Structures are given as structure tokens and as C-alpha cells.
Structure 1
């Protein structure tokens, strides 16, 4: 009699933690999004304008001043965060795989807040890193309160991080799949329901404060033999480029400045970004604005080529300086620029494909290849843009071929790239030992 009662209490505690994690993550994502928007408005002005539009209307001195200020804030924040000492890492991937999801709460939340502030000021990093960190911290605290096992804690923290993305972008299904496929590394049936519940609760709570609308407004695209043929040819190219990007992330993350250079590097790097943004304001922020323009065919060929080179360089510059932030939306924006560039010659070979569709397919391919999560990417692209099956065949083709090529050359995802080589090998061994790693 005692064992069944204890099992029931354990199960009840787990599901209570699931619901509370979702609710807390939704509130956290809404608060961080509000802070981001407030920071952007204070830094760039432009009531009701997005970052790109506001920055395009500001004088050159403001670009330099705002980004140099973001560098100073990063330097001061790094000093403060290092005083919040802990034996645990604040990287979510490392925490899930090597510390059973245990994270230092204050330091992780401090990093999330700093990330939101500097992204709002224009750092070329993703804003999704902050709500992911907040969701992971809340999940870890709920696991402590309900005395979950290490395996349950690991799952709950991954679900909390995925729910942070779900709430911030309004993508409940994609966020749940991202948590399992990319962060937890297992699309097991026994994991699906908890991930869905956390994401649904978080998204539902966030909708009380955030708009319920697709992140990207795009036209109604339709698949065609031309777009399918392009996808088969472009997918491997994007896969190879994604490998170079992942390895570049690994290199700059492993060569961050130390000592007194840790204080100087973000100021210099972000000031350089500010100078470059005078000519190319599209380099500022996570790239959402320019990606949407590319999806609508509103970025010219010359600018597409320039941004395909400069956008990833800006992200690597910020990351290498020690600035905290996500890589999800910057990778998507990079893929949109690259897809648009690869579509330019194809328009001469086989006309008829809208330029925006090349950008959309490139974004999906780059996202899948860098995260090594093709299933979650397909769903995320549908939820982010609101399109259903109109162009699903070329999207499937380009995602599958890009991911296959990338995984063949480089086993690390963009999140694994920030781990040490020993940790990557350890994660791969743990994934191989995880039961039920395939959906059946």
C-alpha cells in the first residue's frame, strides 16, 4: 500500500510542478518582453516603430552612443554576474545534460535581464535566450519544491526553457518540440505530454499580456516544381554554410577575452557594430525585422548579398565580446539572407518563384541545420509565419537536405558549439543511452 501511495504523490508533485512552471514562465516571458520593448523605445525612440524603422530615423551619433552604452552595460553586468559565484553553469544545455538541470537562479536571471537590455539597445543577438533562461530557472525551483528526481528535473528544465520560447513567440507546439528534440535530445512519447502542457500553459498566460499573432507577416506562398528543385540544390549548400557558422560560434565562444580585456572587449565590439549600423541599420537587434522584409521580397539583391555576410559577422562579434544573448533568431535571419542570395541566379534559370519564398526556405534550412532539429523547425516555421501547407514540400526538402549534410559533417548543434569538446562527447553518449529516443 505504501509504494502506490508514494508513487501517486510523486506523480502529483510532478504535474503540479509542470503547471506552475508553465504559469511562471508565461509571466516571466511577458515581463522580459515588456522590458525589451521599453529599452528599445528609450534607446531609439520611434513610438510604435520596430527597431529597424526607429534606428533608420536616428542620427549617426545616436548609433554610436547607444551601442557603446550597451557595451559598457555588458562590461558592468559581467563583473556583477561573476560576483554571483556558483559551481553550476548558466548555459542551459550544459545544465540539462551534466547537472541534471540545476542552475544558479540569481546569476541566470541576471544574465537573462542583461541579455534583454543589450538586445533592446541593438546587440545582434537573439531575445529568446532570456525567456528560455527564465523558464529553466523557474522549472529548477519547482523541481526543488516538489523534490523531483534528477531525470524528472532534467525534463522539466528542458520543458521550461522551451516554454520560454513558446511564450515569447506564441509558438506552443514548436516550443514544446524544440524543448524535446534540441534541448532534451529525445522525441520520446513519455516526454511529449509534459512538454506540451508546460508550453500551452506558458503561452496561454503570456497571451494575457502579449499579442496573439504570428511573429512574421508573410504573403501566401505556394509550392511549385521550380521551388522544389531549388530546395534540393540549395539545401546542401545551406547545410555546409551552417557548419561554418556553428564552428565559428564554437571558436569565438572558446576565445572570449579574459582579465581586463573582458571589460574593454564589449565596449569596442558593440561600438564597432554601432558604427556599421549607420550604413546598415539592418545589423541591429536579432534580425526579425529584416527577415520579415526578406520574406516579403522587400530586400534588394545588393543589400541581400551584403547582409548575408555582415549579419552573421555582427552576431559573432557580439558573442565573442562576451555579450549574452540567443542565437535562434539571428540564425533564422542569416538563413533568410542566404536563401535570398541563392535565389537570385535561380530566378534566371527557372523564373516564377517569388523572391520571398527563397528567403523563407533559406531561413528554415539554416534553422534546422544549426539546431539539428528538423521536426521542431518545420513546426516553428509554420507557427512563426502562420503558413500551413502551401509551401510545405519545398520546405521539407530544403530542411531535410540541409540537416542531413550539416549532421554528416558536424555533429554539434549551435547550442552544443558553446560546450567543450569533452562535454559534447558526453552529451552524445548520454543521448545514445537515453531510452525511447524515437517517436513510436
Structure 2
């Protein structure tokens, strides 16, 4: 006798895939459109503020900062602290907060997202980054996409279970639109938010991210975010570098996540919001006089490392200053992302460690060290290795040749970091909240 296996259910194809109703797919399409428009609005806000504050037009933001006077740098950072503190104080006092945290809502299946308050807090976040805050620009479109998914699911009448999927898809779509990375945005929604990749989850995530990215092309660039020279196939030296690099980056990542958690736990509330951001942003302004690359989300810093033109001591200084600047910005109470600050930290660490490795065993191009380390740092700090790898591929477009050492480093870094610290940059910054008895079971993707 033979057993007919053709009726066996494929592991990634759940039986309830056909249960997704038409109105869910309508909400998916509308969430993608809303996420793309939200990304356009947030990036327009950011660029307008950067232009007004530092006369920025095109090219590298750090170059525009370097061209203005020292006094203007400090003045704009102090203004950033003032606007951030007062804005957060007003949101907390009169509106009840910033609108909710998407990761917490999806992971715990509790709470709600307010589209109106999220729009206000996201705009404030981009103003903070535009005035020099050392934090990611992507949090605003990510949170706005998530809030759009939440609002649409309620408006259209999607079930709560499917509503959480829409929130995750909206978050990934917002990230995809702002960085022109639709595949990575879909993986971000499924791997990080929902904790698994199956047809039920990946199909709406892909569609939402694809639509959002296409909508963003109406205004935003369709080119790669980073310009990396064509890299050759890896040498034995580069492969061994990746083997050694993974655990090193994992250890540093674990410390970085602890720093993020420390800063997040000490964010000011109530009247200290009117004072502490001023002090911390003023200190950041003084640092930026000599090191303008620490300002903003870190795109210029990563690009600096990817070109491979810096000297080893500059890489070392920036690898210390950037995480401190990001932690200080978080400590001030500012809202913003950690995606690009984390990537840029990995890139400068790769630049520093790669230069040291090349002294012992030369033969690999300098940018390859930075790219590999950036992916390893993201994978370990996010606890989403697949997402990290695809993001680096989509952000650069031409590094497929060094895929093997990148995979080795990402796995080594993620395993090492996981043994040291069970938190990620996303879970470490969540505030403790009381949970009722009926919500003891965590949602999909919740950290364990």
C-alpha cells in the first residue's frame, strides 16, 4: 500500500488562508495607499525643517550642518530640545499621549492606536530629527502606517485578529515606503511584528508594502538609499573576518540594546519635559560642531562608512559618539526610530574593525567590512536576521557578491546577542503597563 501525500498540508499554508474576507483585502489596499501617503507627508516635513534650520537642499545633511556657523548648530539643537519637550508635554497633558505603540498593541493584543494623536506625534518626531535629533526618521511613517491600518480595520469592520495583521502590515509598509524597500518592509511586518512567515501573513504584508512603495514614488526617490561600489566575491580573509565579527558584534549589540533600554526607562515626564530635552540637545549640539555626522538618523554616517574613505580613529570616535547621541536623544523623551541609527553604528564599527583586520590580512575592499557589520548589527539588535539581510540588500542594490560572509556574520551576531540579552531595540524601549487577567497570553511575535 502507498500513502497519498498530495493531500498533506504544506507547512506554510494554513487551512484558514481562504477565511480572509474581501473586506480585509480592501483594508490591505487602503492601508498600503495610506502608508505611502503618510511616508510622503513625513519626509516632506523632515526636509522642510532641515532646509529652514540648516539651509539643506540636497545631498548629505551633515554637509549642510558643517557649512553653517557653530552658534547656529547649537541654537538649532536647543530649539529642537525646546520643541520636542514642549510638544511632548502638550500631547501628554491635553491629548493623553502620543497615540500608542504599534509593537506593544500587536504583541500583547491589547490597547488601541489613535490616528490623530499618532499623526501629531509623528510630525513632532520628524521635526525633532530635522532639527538634529540623533534618532531615526522611519518611526513616524512606520507608526502612521500602523495607525492607518488600525483605523481602517475598525472603519471597515475587520475582526480584531485581522486588525492586528493590518497594524503590522501598515508598520512594515511605512518603513518600506520611506526606504524604497518593499520586500524588507513585508519581512519586517511578519518576522518582527507577527513572529512568523506564512501565506496568511506574508501575502497581505507584501501587497501593503508594494502599494505603499509605489505610492511613495510619486514624490520620494526610487533609487537605492546608499551608494556602495561594486564589491568582488569574498576572499578567504573576508570569510574569516565574518566568522570573528559575528560574536563581537553580538556582544556590542547586547550592550547597545541595554543602553537603549536604560535611556527609554528614564525618559522625563510632566514638567521635566520642559527642561531635560534642552540640556541634552544642547550637549548634542556641542558634539556636532566637531562631528556633524552624529546628527540626524544616521544615513550620512552609514554612507560615510560604506565609501571606506574614513581613517580608523574617526571610525572609532563615531562608533562611540553615535550610540551615545541616540541614547541621549531617547533619554530626552523624543520619539523616533532606531533602525538607521543601529545600521549606521554597525557600519562604522565595521569600518573600524575592518581597518584593523586589513592590517593583519589585507586583500578585501574597505566597504565590504562596513556592509557586513551593518547587517550583523541590525540582525542582532532587531532580533530579525532575515529582515536585516534583505534590508541591506534593498538599501544598497549591489552587494550580492558578499552574501555568504554577511549571512555568517548575521547568524553569529544574532546568536551571541540572544545568549546575552533577550530584548531587542524594539522591546527594550517599551514602557511597563498593567495587563488585565484576560490578556495574559501574548500575541504573535511577542518577545519570549
TM-score by length of 1: 0.93
8 Å contact kept, 2:86–2:273: no
Hey, what does 1:264 align to over in structure 2?
Answer: 275
Hey, what does 1:386 align to over in structure 2?
Answer: 397
Whether 2:257 is the aligned partner of 1:240: answer no
Tell me, in whole angstroms, the C-alpha distance in 2 between the residues paired with 1:58 and 1:144: 48
Hey, what does 2:87 align to over in structure 1?
Answer: 77
Hey, what does 1:304 align to over in structure 2?
Answer: 315
> Given the superposition, is the C-alpha separation of residues 217 and 25 from structure 1 closer, same or farther in structure 2, using an over 3 Å criterion?
same
After TM superposition, give the deviation of residue 10 of structure 1 in Å: 6.6
Whether 2:50 is the aligned partner of 1:36: answer no
> Given the superposition, is the C-alpha separation of residues 334 and 428 from structure 1 closer, same or farther in structure 2, using an over 3 Å criterion?
farther
Hey, what does 1:374 align to over in structure 2?
Answer: 385
8 Å contact kept, 2:91–2:98: no
> Given the superposition, is the C-alpha separation of residues 8 and 370 from structure 1 closer, same or farther in structure 2, using an over 3 Å criterion?
closer
Hey, what does 2:14 align to over in structure 1?
Answer: none
Which ranges of structure 2 fall in alignment gaps of 5 or more residues? 1-16
Hey, what does 2:134 align to over in structure 1?
Answer: 124
Count of aligned residue pairs for this structure pair? 427
Instruction: Select 1:293's aligned residue among 294, 299, 304.
Output: 304
Hey, what does 1:323 align to over in structure 2?
Answer: 334
8 Å contact kept, 1:70–1:118: yes
After TM superposition, give the deviation of residue 348 of structure 1 in Å: 1.5
Name the SS for the 1:390 alignment partner: helix
**Residues 153-172 of structure 1 aligned to structure 2 (within 5 Å):** 153-172=163-182
Tell me, in whole angstroms, the C-alpha distance in 2 between the residues paired with 1:374 and 1:331: 13
After TM superposition, give the deviation of residue 403 of structure 1 in Å: 0.6
After TM superposition, give the deviation of residue 423 of structure 1 in Å: 8.5
Hey, what does 1:274 align to over in structure 2?
Answer: 285
Tell me, in whole angstroms, the C-alpha distance in 2 between the residues paired with 1:349 and 1:210: 43
**Residues 53-202 of structure 1 aligned to structure 2 (within 5 Å):** 53-86=63-96, 90-100=100-110, 102-202=112-212
Hey, what does 2:370 align to over in structure 1?
Answer: 359
8 Å contact kept, 1:163–1:203: yes
> Given the superposition, is the C-alpha separation of residues 372 and 9 from structure 1 closer, same or farther in structure 2, using an over 3 Å criterion?
closer
Name the SS for the 1:417 alignment partner: coil
After TM superposition, give the deviation of residue 275 of structure 1 in Å: 0.9
Q: Root-mean-square deviation (CA), in Å?
A: 2.2
Tell me, in whole angstroms, the C-alpha distance in 1 between the residues paired with 2:247 and 2:333: 31
After TM superposition, give the deviation of residue 189 of structure 1 in Å: 2.6
**Residues 206-225 of structure 1 aligned to structure 2 (within 5 Å):** 206-222=216-232, 223-225=234-236
Tell me, in whole angstroms, the C-alpha distance in 2 between the residues paired with 1:48 and 1:432: 38
Task: State which drifts further: 132-141 or 185-194.
Answer: 185-194
Whether 2:354 is the aligned partner of 1:350: answer no
> Given the superposition, is the C-alpha separation of residues 128 and 297 from structure 1 closer, same or farther in structure 2, using an over 3 Å criterion?
same
Tell me, in whole angstroms, the C-alpha distance in 1 between the residues paired with 2:384 and 2:295: 26
Which ranges of structure 1 fall in alignment gaps of 5 or more residues? 1-6, 435-440
Tell me, in whole angstroms, the C-alpha distance in 1 between the residues paired with 2:316 and 2:445: 40
Deviations 1:232-273 (A, max 9, x none): 001100001100011111111111223422210111101110
Tell me, in whole angstroms, the C-alpha distance in 1 between the residues paired with 2:335 and 2:57: 27
Deviations 1:8-44 (A, max 9, x none): 9971110000000001110110111111111111110
After TM superposition, give the deviation of residue 314 of structure 1 in Å: 0.2
TM-score by length of 2: 0.91
